[in-house]
Structure 1
Amino acid sequence: MSIQMYFDRYLPPLEAEMRLVLQTDDERHAGLYGMLRYHLGWVDQSFQPTSTWTGKRIRPVLCLLSCEACQMDWEQALPAASALELMHNFTLIHDDIQDNDETRRGRSTVWRLWGRPQGINAGDTLFALSQLALSRLIDRGVPSTTVISASRLFNQTCVLITGGQYLDIGFESREGVMVDEYLAMIERKTAALVACSCEMGALIAEASIKRRESLRAFGRHLGLAFQIRDDILGIWGNSEVTGKPVGSDIVRRKKSLPILHGLARDEQLRHLLAQATLTPADVDRATELLQACGSRAYAEELEKAHHDEALAALEVADVHGAAAQGLYDLAQKLLNRAQ
């Protein structure tokens, strides 16, 4: 079965599970839930149903694939997959506020439409709903001890993510951030949730500790490779595919992996990025300098190294069958993605 066939198989019941969690009978809260549905891509800003891109849904698919690869009915893990996606989206709502981002997925962000206070509240609500989504594992017949373990894993991961965000916010006002510091940050902010998604599927399948740890390692390295690929695309991606301007991370002076690598090696780049404003010519020049000092090659090599580590961990997990092949195929797809 191709990886796209798994997405086609998993996503409709996943969306249905998420919609169940986001139901409310209280008309006084209709606007709040409308904001959440808007962020998830289900409605427009007038809360009318719409068809728009809802995001990659990588994390819940990894959870369901991992569960099935461990020889358990993947539908058992749907509440957890839903919870993981809702938690991810809670972090995005808050990220947009903290980063002053006015657009996401080609649309205005929640805070931009309804203000920062309502945006914060919407994110808080989505986090609470993610907990309720996870508790629905009981309704699927998952043993209560497993549900408690899943809740512990879920919340430990949330603490890691918010810790990573704390580091990332701190980097914004700091000079001389090192590559190693950046990698430690993305391991928490990005890779932790991917690792959790893979381990969660194995946990619900009541897999062995060794298999759980191996699938967690698979997810950790996959998450690191995923973020590094994002960093590469933020400078060298095709704007028609990514939906972002060429060199967008340079314009924002984002402390991404290639930029930190380049700043540590090129005085001209440091001087250029210290300017108050950057012209299109400045962005082009910065891109050339990053290429010349080996920052792109460094990032691509590190991405490949983490991708290879992910595949090695998947082999140690010793999972078999079509879903195991799906995990491998998804890892390959993420390595070669252009968006």
Structure 2
Amino acid sequence: MKQEDLGRFVGYWLPQLEEELRAILHSPEEAVAGHYGMMHYHMGWVDEHFQPYAAPAGKRLRPILCLLACAEVGGDPSQALPAAAGIEILHNFSLIHDDVEDGDETRRHRPTVWKLWGIPQAINVGDAMFALAFAGVQRLSRRGVPAGQVLAALDLFTQTCLALTEGQHLDIDFEQREQVTVADYLRMIQGKTAALIRASVQIGALLGGASPAQQEALGRFGQALGLAFQIQDDILGIWGDPAVTGKAAGNDILRRKKSLPLLHGLNSPAVGAQLQALFADAPTEEQVPIAMELLAQAGSRAYAVEQVAHHHGQARQALEEGLGRSVQGSVLWQLAETLLHRDA
């Protein structure tokens, strides 16, 4: 792939991705328009009355990674659009079910699907999007993708679906456990976050005509990128600027979220007992500075930053293996750098 400006690439392909998403999530008949309207609401296309509305719709990170990977290995991103759309729909299915399972009442500054229409409808909408995600990937054949590549993409996609549920199982289980180690946490985010990012890159490479060795290396790039991405989120969840993140300072502390820095602190011989006592009940805003001081004593932020750097280095090495050259000039690497140096 020739060196391109990342913004130009995204600007060209994002509207086509949105068109593919709308085609897959199109309501087939008036009788079930509300069912699809709930999907459209979650995707940020309509308001709660199903009237056109441009709401925050997320980064579309995963499908863009898929299209970039396809282009980087010399493929035509237009052929990968159905898979990219299927990946984004799968991601959004997981968010709808996450909101139900976590009891979250808002997402992207709007009420969640279950909060507006109830848990049964939200579960059903999520189930439909899960099915439509597979329907999206199957549309690859309409783009002239050979049957063998379609089946290979579906195989990776199916494995990823299972990995997502494994990660979610662990995440839910952690809420009921007093003792969770850093190793436990890293295993959880391998499934819940990194697996879909890995699949996004690997499926894009597959559809771009990459060799099996290239696909495996680029998959490892996606895996390492996903781990670094999540840990960076964990750092921002505690030390992010509220004016930029839109969340309260120490938000993850207030939620008692078992993120990497907090688990590092909770398992610290020096301050672990004090943090555990603080988290025995929901911390108040007044207790956030106390918790942050304890995390500072444990070196938890520095540890998390080191982990981001470690996975960032692994991502770079894997991408160079996959591309067979330096990452300099790689638009895929430009996106990775943007993600790993973000402040929101």
Counterpart position of 2:318: 313
Shift of 1:83: 0.3
Deviations 1:125-152 (A, max 9, x none): 0011111111110000000111011111
Shift of 1:277: 3.5
Distance 1:178 1:107 in 2: 33
| 3-state SS, counterpart of residue 18 of structure 2 | helix
| 3-state SS, counterpart of residue 136 of structure 1 | helix
Gaps of 5+ in 2: none
Q: Is the 8 A contact 1:106 1:243 kept in 2?
A: no
Query: Does residue 335 in structure 1 map to residue 329 in structure 2?
Result: no
Counterpart position of 2:166: 163
Deviations 1:7-44 (A, max 9, x none): 21111000000000111231111111000000000001
| 3-state SS, counterpart of residue 48 of structure 1 | coil
| 3-state SS, counterpart of residue 245 of structure 1 | coil
Counterpart position of 1:241: 244
| 3-state SS, counterpart of residue 201 of structure 1 | helix
Deviations 1:277-310 (A, max 9, x none): 4221201211121122100000010011101110
**Matched length:** 338
Shift of 1:318: 2.1
Shift of 1:320: 6.5
Runs of 4+ that moved beyond 6 A: 320-324
Shift of 1:271: 1.1
Counterpart residue identity of residue 57, structure 2: T
Counterpart position of 2:283: 278
Q: Is the 8 A contact 2:320 2:326 kept in 1?
A: no
Distance 1:56 1:247 in 2: 23
Distance 2:26 2:188 in 1: 35
Counterpart position of 2:274: 268
Counterpart residue identity of residue 322, structure 2: A
Query: Does residue 211 in structure 1 map to residue 214 in structure 2?
Result: yes
Gaps of 5+ in 1: none
| 3-state SS, counterpart of residue 330 of structure 2 | helix
Distance 1:321 1:289 in 2: 41
Q: Is the 8 A contact 2:85 2:133 kept in 1?
A: yes
Distance 1:192 1:277 in 2: 31
Query: Does residue 295 in structure 1 map to residue 300 in structure 2?
Result: yes
Distance 2:39 2:297 in 1: 44
Moved more, 277-286 or 130-139: 277-286
Counterpart position of 1:69: 72
Distance 1:118 1:11 in 2: 29
Counterpart residue identity of residue 64, structure 2: V
Distance 2:63 2:238 in 1: 28
CA RMSD of aligned residues (A): 1.4
| 3-state SS, counterpart of residue 45 of structure 2 | coil
Moved more, 239-248 or 219-228: 239-248
Distance 1:2 1:283 in 2: 41
Q: Is the 8 A contact 1:34 1:43 kept in 2?
A: yes
Query: Does residue 80 in structure 1 map to residue 80 in structure 2?
Result: no
User: TM-score, normalised to structure 2's length?
Assistant: 0.96
Distance 2:336 2:109 in 1: 26
| 3-state SS, counterpart of residue 163 of structure 1 | helix
Shift of 1:177: 0.4
Moved more, 84-93 or 243-252: 243-252
**Pick aligned residue for 1:116 from 119, 141, 148:** 119
Distance 1:321 1:315 in 2: 5
User: TM-score, normalised to structure 1's length?
Assistant: 0.97
Shift of 1:321: 10
Counterpart residue identity of residue 184, structure 1: R
Moved more, 107-116 or 313-322: 313-322
Shift of 1:268: 1.5
Q: Is the 8 A contact 1:69 1:319 kept in 2?
A: no
**Pick aligned residue for 2:55 from 52, 56, 60:** 52
Q: Is the 8 A contact 1:258 1:290 kept in 2?
A: yes
Q: Is the 8 A contact 1:69 1:321 kept in 2?
A: no
Counterpart residue identity of residue 276, structure 2: R
| 3-state SS, counterpart of residue 52 of structure 2 | coil
Deviations 1:207-265 (A, max 9, x none): 10110001000000000000001111111111121121111111110111000000011
Shift of 1:60: 0.4
Query: Does residue 17 in structure 1 map to residue 20 in structure 2?
Result: yes
Identify if the C-alpha distance between structure 1 residues 129 and 323 changes in structure 2 by more than 3 Å, giving closer, same or farther: farther
Report the identity percentage: 52
Question: Where in structure 2 are the equivalents of 1:38-49 lying within 5 Å?
Answer: 38-49=41-52
Distance 1:288 1:57 in 2: 36
Shift of 1:109: 0.5
Distance 1:21 1:126 in 2: 10
| 3-state SS, counterpart of residue 137 of structure 1 | helix
Distance 2:259 2:140 in 1: 37
Counterpart position of 2:186: 183
Shift of 1:322: 10
Counterpart position of 2:100: 97
